[in-house]
Amino acid sequence: MRLLILGGTTEASALARHLAGRQDFAPILSMAGRTKNPIAPPIPYRIGGFGGVEGLKRYLAENRIDLVVDATHPFAEQMSANAVQACGETGIPLAVLTRPAWRPGPGDNWHFVPSMDAAARALGPAKRRVFLTVGGLQLAAFAAAPQHHYLVRTIETPEAIASLPDHRLILARGPFALEDEVALMRDARIEVLVTKNSGGSATEAKLEAARTLGIGVILVERPAVADVPAFEDVEALIGWIEDHRPSP
Rule CB under 6 A: say whether 133 interacts with ligand NAP: no
- Residue from 4, 16, 19, 31 in contact with ligand NAP (CB under 6 A): 31
Rule CB under 6 A: say whether 51 interacts with ligand NAP: yes
Rule CB under 6 A: say whether 77 interacts with ligand NAP: yes
Rule CB under 6 A: say whether 43 interacts with ligand NAP: no
C-beta separation of 232 from 205 below 8 A: no
Q: Closest separation between CB of residue 150 and ligand NAP, Å?
A: 17
Q: Which stretch binds ligand NAP (CB under 6 A): 61-69, 72-80, 143-151, 234-242?
A: 72-80
Q: Closest separation between CB of residue 198 and ligand NAP, Å?
A: 7
Rule CB under 6 A: say whether 27 interacts with ligand NAP: no
Residues 78-107, one symbol each (x = binds ligand NAP by CB under 6 A, - = not), give: xx--x-------------------------
Rule CB under 6 A: say whether 115 interacts with ligand NAP: no
Q: Edge-to-edge, what's the strand order for the sheet holding 192-196? A: 110-113, 216-220, 192-196, 129-133, 149-154, 167-171
User: Which of 30, 166, 143, 169 has its CA nearest to residue 86?
Assistant: 30
The residues, ordered by sequence, that sit 6+ positions from 184 with a Cβ below 8 Å of its Cβ are 131, 151, 170, 190, 209
Site residues for ligand NAP, 183-242, by CB under 6 A, read 196
Q: Which stretch binds ligand NAP (CB under 6 A): 44-52, 87-95, 111-119, 183-191?
A: 44-52
- By CB atoms closer than 10 A (0-12, 13-18, 19+), residue 228 is middle
Q: Pick between residue 82 and residue 204 the one whose CB is nearest to ligand NAP.
A: 82
The residues, ordered by sequence, that sit 6+ positions from 154 with a Cβ below 8 Å of its Cβ are 135, 136, 139, 169, 170, 171
Q: Closest separation between CB of residue 116 and ligand NAP, Å?
A: 10
Rule CB under 6 A: say whether 55 interacts with ligand NAP: yes
Q: Closest separation between CB of residue 50 and ligand NAP, Å?
A: 4
Rule CB under 6 A: say whether 153 interacts with ligand NAP: no
Q: Pick between residue 167 and residue 196 the one whose CB is nearest to ligand NAP.
A: 196
Contact positions vs ligand NAP (CB under 6 A) = 6-9, 30-32, 34, 49-52, 55-56, 72-73, 75-79, 82, 135, 137, 196
